[in-house]
Amino acid sequence: MRGLVVLAIALAACGGMAAQAPAPVPAETPSPRPSFTPAQFQIVPTPPPATPTPPAGPPRTPYPSPSVPAGSLRYVAIGASDTTGVGASAPAKDSWPALLAARLPLGATYTNVGVAGSLARQAAAAQVPRALLADPTVVTIWLAVNDLNAQIDAAAYLGDMRGVVDPLLSGTQAQLFIGNVPDLRSLPAYASADKVALGRSIEQYNAIINGLVLRARGRITIVDLSSGSADLMSGATVASDGFHPSDAGHRLIADRFAAALRARGIAAGP
């Protein structure tokens, strides 16, 4: 009798163990995606636009810049923090677009729609509609570093830049001047970045910008900020935050954009 009792207890114990659900296996925590963005320069989202971006269409006849009277020159700057003048002592008048505008002929108008922290896709949504309202004849665009910092892949960046460029080509007669990416690897803000990966991303982005020119030859000009990057990345041309251009840096960027305008026959004083 005692043996039967022991057997019954053992069977009950085994049945209880079988009824228990297996312990859940903890989910694997995904590794964080690396980013070139220094902690103090996080991307700031841009609010949605009040006006929808017009659909892209076929480019119009190229804008004949040499024959346009000075009084009808309408300049619009599209970009991010550098375009708004971050790093300059007096951003409103010492940003590189403001310095460039000051070199244009008497009667030219200047509109800066740049938003600090903008990615290219955000600029397409929020800045391009405002630029179109100004009916520009000259547009400068410098949108790359924030996208690169946020690790936007090359294919997405290309699509986002087309979202900036195509409405301007189809909706205006403007000449577009697009800045490419300098060699950022020597900037203090990138001291801990993977320099090989950063250099590869810079090359990919610059190849995309080159490709935009081939799609609209005669309407888009690259402003070369990559060649001679050492000048732009020197201690004198970088602000104390180790990232943005200083007053001297803004002047140097304005010099390069002005030279590109002059090469296209648009008056932009030295």
Q: Tell me the C-alpha distance between 1 and 3, whole Å.
A: 5
Cβ atoms of 107 and 143 closer than 8 Å: no
The CATH number of residue 215's host domain is 3.40.50.1110
d(CA 151, CA 208): 15
Nearest to 73 by CA among 143, 171, 175: 175
Neighbours of 40 (CB within 10 A): 9
pTM: 0.77
Residue 11's pLDDT is what?
Answer: 42
- Kind of pairing, strands 220-223 and 138-142? unpaired
Is 107 domain-assigned? Answer: yes
pLDDT confidence of residue 159: 97
Determine contact, residues 262/216, Cβ cutoff 8 Å: no
Highest mean pLDDT among 11-20, 25-34, 43-52: 11-20
* Residue 164 belongs to a domain: yes
Q: How many domains does the chain have?
A: 1
Greater confidence (22 vs 120) lies with: 120
pLDDT digits (tens, 9 = 90+) for 200-217: 999 999 999 999 988 887
What pLDDT, on a 0 to 100 scale, did the predictor assign at position 54? Answer: 38
Q: What are the residues facing 109 on neighbouring strands?
A: 74
**Sheet strands side by side (includes 220-223):** 109-112, 74-79, 138-142, 175-179, 220-223
Task: Say if residue 270 is exposed, middle or buried (CB neighbours under 10 Å; 0-12, 13-18, 19+).
Answer: exposed
129 with 122: CB under 8 angstroms? Answer: no
pLDDT score, position 27 = 42
Residue 102 in tokens? 């000051």
Return the structure tokens found at 22.
């297996």
Amino acid at site 194? D
- DSSP string covering 200-237: HHHHHHHHHHHHHHHHTBTTEEEE--STTHHHHTSTTT
| Pairwise pLDDT comparison (69 vs 66), residue with the higher score | 69
Q: What is the pLDDT of residue 71?
A: 59
For residue 141, the model assigns a pLDDT of: 98
- Residue 141 is classified by DSSP as E
Q: What is the mean pLDDT of the chain?
A: 81
Q: Is 137 left (phi over 0), alpha (psi -120 to 50) or beta?
A: alpha
**Amino acid at position 190, single letter:** Y
pLDDT score recorded for residue 231? 84
Tens-digit pLDDT profile for residues 233-253: 888 899 999 999 999 999 999
Q: Is residue 211 part of a domain?
A: yes
Domain that holds residue 135: 69-263
- Weakest-pLDDT range from 24-33, 82-91, 120-129: 24-33
Report the pLDDT averaged over residues 247-264: 95
5 falls within a domain: no
Between residues 230 and 192, which one has the greater pLDDT? Answer: 192
Residue that has been written with the tokens 């119009």 in this structure: 60
User: pLDDT digit string (tens) for 122-157?
Assistant: 999 999 999 999 999 999 999 999 999 999 999 999
CA-to-CA distance for 82 and 79, rounded, in angstroms? Answer: 7
pLDDT given for residue 36 in this prediction: 54
pLDDT value at residue 218 = 87
Asked whether residue 46 is assigned to any structural domain, the reply reads no
* pLDDT recorded at residue 253: 96
| Structural domain includes residue 61 | no
Assigned domain for 60 exists: no
Q: Is residue 28 part of a domain?
A: no
Tally of CA atoms within 13 A in the half-sphere of 195 that contains its CB: 7
Which H/E stretch holds residue 247?
A: helix 247-263
pLDDT band at 35 (very low <50, low <70, confident <90, very high): low
